[in-house]
Chains A and B, each alone.
Chain A
Amino acid sequence: MIDDDHSAPLLRVHGITKSFAGVQALKGVDLEVRAAEVHCVLGQNGAGKSTLIKVLSGVHQPDGGVIEWQGEQISIAHPVAALGLGIATMYQELDVVDGLTIAENIFLGHERSAGGMLKVAEANRATRELLLRLGHGNLSPSTEVGRLSAANKQIVSMARALSHDTKLIIMDEPSAVLDSEEVRNLFRVIRELTSQGVAVVYISHRLEEIRQIGDRITVIKDGRSMAVGLSARETPTPDLITLMTGRAVANVFPARVPVPADAPVLIDVSDLTLRGQFTNVSLSVRAGEIVGLAGLVGSGRSEILETIYGARKASGGQVSVGGTRLKPGSVRSAVHAGIGLAPEERKSQGLILDEPVYRNVTLSTFARFARGGFLDERRERQVSLEQMQALELRPAVPERTTRTLSGGNQQKVLLARWLVHGTKVLLLDEPTRGVDVGARAEIYALIRQLAAAGTAIILVSSEIEEVIGLADRVLVIGDGEVLSTTYAHDIDERGVLDLVMKGAAA
């Protein structure tokens, strides 16, 4: 139901430029958002999405360009001015206060009060209305926000935006902290908003999501808009990837390399059990082979990897590497035997973010380079630099603080760590989480190369097509059991889902 009013742009941005200390973050961005549409802004990390958001929400002032709001040229001097116009922003790091209730959060800064006394009942009533508008009447306004899930915190954040009579909500990668069920719910809420005439600018680099929720797309690359107002449903994926990355991605997944029949089995897992999580998981991986574990969130995939690695103590079964049985529950024994893990939560489980890259690369090996307990940092730097160059980790500066790297490069730091270690068996848990589309193909190619060089790889991913596209064999996991083992070319996404659903029904 699009009438003429709706197709006239609510927000029109033309030729916005912005530089920081000589670095040009935005070199000319155009954007046009209509009322009641979901407008997706697509771009790799560092393309300038965050800067654009900050310009629109009044945090930064643009150096040049024009912003038109409802047909009038305006400037947005500060965040409060943006709210006054009806532009609200939901940042990735949710700006809710954990210790306050839902109602207190929603009216934070514009409390309902009379003579300095808070009108709690009125605020609660208004909150309930806002939550109802968002389809979340089940949330109580007096619940403390700290007890809510990330998904519900987003709902609070959106309700707060609505409390300002908002016409446009900018959402910065809202799905990054959500699981698939929560994402579906988020989409329901977004549709609720647009049906009430609110426009949404949706920032993401997940193409699948944009297809589902988006109306139109603007692609940004290197601080410039490459395409404005493309159809979100009809633009072919390769076109979008080419616009985002500036190069054609003919084939995202690298070609499989046949595993020689006489390749030795590097890791053998038999009847591995972790009480309450999974039972009797058996698998073996040969040199050069990639085995993928597919299944839904909560199926026990990550737990299996962590137990193989000894980060969790198995309650039954065993893991052998090259014929040697590993000590259950001992990471050290696993690392010593030649297993490496690139964990799911890269930032909290994998990296020391404030340390230089080279110290993260050598975190498992610095003692090997040391002489008599004294570190040899020069060799550590040199070895790290060699790996960084081999993995095309950019910029190849070993002294750089790890926090400043993109998701894809941080993943490469972990790969480099295990390459330096000489790992024979690599366990990869969600290797492309938080990695943007262009860098993904590169990570896939690296994983395949590692396998081709003789490494045995076990891969876990919540994206089923990633498992099928990359692995040689696929184990479908459901409810903590191996439901089937097949060659990857004998199964598709549909097949995996069918198996999972049957397993759940049985």
Chain B
Amino acid sequence: MSEQQTVPAGPASTNPPAAAEERPGVVRRILSGSAGRNLGLVIALVLLVIVGTITAGDRFASYDNFLTILRLASIIGVISIGLTFVITAGGIDLSVGSVMGLATVVASLAAVQAAATQSSWLLMVLIPIGVGVAAGLINGIVIAYGNVVAFMATLAMLVAARGLAELISGRRTQIVIETGFLQFTRSSIIGVPLLIWIFLVVAIVAWFLLNRTTFGRRTVAIGGNREASRLAGIRVKRHLVYVYVLSGLTAGIAGIMMLGRTTAGTSTHGTLYELDAIAAVVVGGTLLIGGRGTIVGTVLGVLIFSTLTNVFTQNNLDTSVQAITKGLIIVIAVLLQQRFATRGSSGN
């Protein structure tokens, strides 16, 4: 289209100049902005580390243990990052955990492993990704073009993918013997395990994608007001398919990581991961109704939960108590967010 126009001299107006922008205090502005929300999460994380250090001492506060926490966080972290896009766009993906499980099963089938040994271990990297993308594509098409509610469509995918994984694995655990793949996934770069590097790279790429690209802008816009986005000329349905494919893709990547970490593929991998991922995303500050998403928040949310798990494990505490604490953290985080959110917007 042609370049923009400007309106010739506006109507002669004697309106007084706009009242000075109300400026809430600098501290309050920072606290109510995205930095403030993340700051709260950082404080929570630091508190957890302090509690861990006091209660478990060196068992907790060691380089090796921190790597353990990060390794624990990496798989759910990658899933949560993909899910952040879906939730920001106003959707939900309950199938992430079971799609990851299915990806591990397909990639560790005896036939696939044999083929990988004959050709290249990269096959075992590509197949989980393919499984994830395919599942995301189905989710996206059913939701965007079939007008099925995302909750139901992905719930169906959760159940179906788990069933398919059980069917093709015969409910048996399939051990990974492909040495090239194992060497790759269990390698370290400058002393840091590959899984953590993958988490880091996925997080950085996702941050750029959400905050700096047209893809991210469309995602936020659709989540903020789907009808307005459509009427502005954005291809909403097509974009929603992309978003679910992205979530499937990260579930597939998580499958590769899971195969590497556990050296086994099984249909039970990833059970209830969808709930952990949703919790991390929402605690991180992404709005469940869409329109606002934060990758940094999601990463911090994941780190908080995995550090919490680690603190409990190091102190030999009951997992039931851990579950209760998790529940409390979710509620407190959401309560705090609401307070900041209302304070931020009530300028007058």
Residue pair B5, A422 in contact (C-beta under 8 Å): yes
Residue pair B214, A370 in contact (C-beta under 8 Å): yes
Q: Which residues of B sit under 8 angstroms from A401, Cβ to Cβ?
A: 345
Q: Which residues of B sit under 8 angstroms from A349, Cβ to Cβ?
A: 227-228, 231
Contact with A along B289-325 (1 / 0, CB 8 A): 0011000000000000000000000000000000000
Q: A331-B233, A332-B233, A363-B232 are in contact. Are A446 and B227 (CB under 8 A)?
A: no
Interface segment among A109-117, A201-209, A389-397: the answer is: A389-397
Closest to B25 in A: A21
Mostly, the B contact residues are: loop
Q: Which residues of B sit under 8 angstroms from A247, Cβ to Cβ?
A: 14-15
**Contact partner, A353, options B1, B6, B7, B225, Cβ 8 Å:** B225
CB distance from B293 to the nearest CB of A (A): 12
Contact with B along A441-485 (1 / 0, CB 8 A): 110011001101101000000000000000000000000000000
Residue pair B225, A341 in contact (C-beta under 8 Å): no
A192 to B292 alpha-carbon distance, docked (Å): 48
Q: Is B111 an interface residue (CB 8 A)?
A: no
Closest to A362 in B: B217
A443 to B255 alpha-carbon distance, docked (Å): 56
- Report how many A-B pairs have Cβ atoms within 8 Å: 135
Contact with A along B264-306 (1 / 0, CB 8 A): 0000000000000000000000000001100000000000000
Residue pair A355, B6 in contact (C-beta under 8 Å): no
Interface segment among A55-63, A92-100, A162-170, A413-421: the answer is: A413-421
A424 to B1 alpha-carbon distance, docked (Å): 10
Q: Is B338 an interface residue (CB 8 A)?
A: no
Residue pair B7, A354 in contact (C-beta under 8 Å): no
Which residues of B, 324-348, contact A by the 8 Å Cβ criterion?
A: 345, 347-348
Residue pair B15, A352 in contact (C-beta under 8 Å): no
Size range of the chain A interface in the assembly: 35 or more
Q: Which residues of B sit under 8 angstroms from A493, Cβ to Cβ?
A: none
**Contact partner, B221, options A352, A386, A445, A446, Cβ 8 Å:** A352
Which residues of B, 186-225, contact A by the 8 Å Cβ criterion?
A: 208, 212-217, 220-221, 224-225
Residue pair A419, B1 in contact (C-beta under 8 Å): no
Residue pair B7, A404 in contact (C-beta under 8 Å): no
Contact with B along A360-380 (1 / 0, CB 8 A): 000110110010011100000
Residue pair B10, A355 in contact (C-beta under 8 Å): no
Residue pair B21, A375 in contact (C-beta under 8 Å): no
CB distance from A481 to the nearest CB of B (A): 26
Q: Is A387 an interface residue (CB 8 A)?
A: yes
Contact with B along A323-356 (1 / 0, CB 8 A): 0000000011011101001010000111111110
CB distance from B89 to the nearest CB of A (A): 13
Residue pair A453, B215 in contact (C-beta under 8 Å): no
Q: Is B118 an interface residue (CB 8 A)?
A: no
Closest to A448 in B: B11
Residue pair A422, B4 in contact (C-beta under 8 Å): yes
| Among A25, A354, A387, A401, residue most surrounded by chain B Cβ atoms (within 10 Å) | A354
A397 to B347 alpha-carbon distance, docked (Å): 15
| Among A21, A354, A363, residue most surrounded by chain B Cβ atoms (within 10 Å) | A363
Q: Is A23 an interface residue (CB 8 A)?
A: yes
Q: Is A383 an interface residue (CB 8 A)?
A: yes
Q: By the criterion of a CB under 8 Å from any partner CB, how many residues of chain B are at the interface?
A: 43
Q: Which residues of A sit under 8 angstroms from B22, Cβ to Cβ?
A: 21, 23
Residue pair A419, B5 in contact (C-beta under 8 Å): yes
Closest to A25 in B: B348
Q: Which residues of B sit under 8 angstroms from A396, Cβ to Cβ?
A: 18
**Contact partner, A363, options B2, B15, B17, B229, Cβ 8 Å:** B229
Residue pair B5, A453 in contact (C-beta under 8 Å): yes
Residue pair B220, A355 in contact (C-beta under 8 Å): yes
Residue pair A350, B214 in contact (C-beta under 8 Å): no
Closest to A442 in B: B11
A240 to B5 alpha-carbon distance, docked (Å): 36
Closest to A376 in B: B212
**Contact partner, B13, options A309, A343, A392, A453, Cβ 8 Å:** A392
Residue pair A351, B4 in contact (C-beta under 8 Å): no
A492 to B228 alpha-carbon distance, docked (Å): 35
Q: Which residues of B sit under 8 angstroms from A421, Cβ to Cβ?
A: 1, 4
**Contact partner, A392, options B1, B11, B208, B217, Cβ 8 Å:** B11
Q: A375-B212, A395-B18, A401-B345 are in contact. Are A335 and B232 (CB under 8 A)?
A: yes
Residue pair A364, B5 in contact (C-beta under 8 Å): no
Residue pair A364, B232 in contact (C-beta under 8 Å): yes
Residue pair A311, B230 in contact (C-beta under 8 Å): yes
A420 to B292 alpha-carbon distance, docked (Å): 25
**Contact partner, A359, options B2, B217, B230, Cβ 8 Å:** B217
Q: Which residues of B sit under 8 angstroms from A392, Cβ to Cβ?
A: 10-11, 13, 15
**Contact partner, A352, options B21, B225, B233, B345, Cβ 8 Å:** B225
Residue pair A390, B4 in contact (C-beta under 8 Å): no
A374 to B22 alpha-carbon distance, docked (Å): 32
A391 to B212 alpha-carbon distance, docked (Å): 28
Q: Which residues of B sit under 8 angstroms from A352, Cβ to Cβ?
A: 221, 224-225, 228-229, 291
Residue pair A397, B21 in contact (C-beta under 8 Å): yes
Q: Which residues of A sit under 8 angstroms from B229, Cβ to Cβ?
A: 352, 363
Q: Which residues of A sit under 8 angstroms from B146, Cβ to Cβ?
A: none
Q: Is B235 an interface residue (CB 8 A)?
A: yes
A258 to B216 alpha-carbon distance, docked (Å): 45
CB distance from A243 to the nearest CB of B (A): 15
Q: Which residues of A sit under 8 angstroms from B208, Cβ to Cβ?
A: 374
Q: Which residues of A sit under 8 angstroms from B15, Cβ to Cβ?
A: 247, 392, 394
A400 to B348 alpha-carbon distance, docked (Å): 14
A403 to B347 alpha-carbon distance, docked (Å): 12
* Interchain Cβ contacts under 8 Å between A and B, 22 examples: A20-B348, A23-B348, A331-B230, A331-B231, A334-B233, A343-B231, A349-B227, A350-B231, A353-B225, A355-B224, A370-B213, A375-B213, A375-B217, A386-B6, A387-B6, A390-B10, A392-B10, A422-B1, A445-B11, A446-B11, A453-B7, A455-B5
The interface of chain A, by Cβ under 8 A from chain B, is: 20-21, 23, 25, 247, 309, 311, 331-332, 334-336, 338, 341, 343, 348-355, 359, 363-364, 366-367, 370, 373-375, 383, 386-387, 390-392, 394-397, 400-401, 403-404, 417, 419-424, 441-442, 445-446, 449-450, 452-453, 455
The interface of chain B, by Cβ under 8 A from chain A, is: 1-8, 10-11, 13-15, 17-19, 21-22, 208, 212-217, 220-221, 224-225, 227-235, 291-292, 345, 347-348
Known: A387-B6, A422-B2. 13 other contacts (CB 8 A): A309-B231, A341-B231, A348-B227, A354-B292, A355-B224, A366-B217, A374-B213, A375-B212, A383-B4, A403-B345, A445-B10, A449-B8, A449-B10
Closest 6 CB pairs of A and B: A335-B233, A395-B18, A352-B224, A445-B11, A394-B18, A363-B232
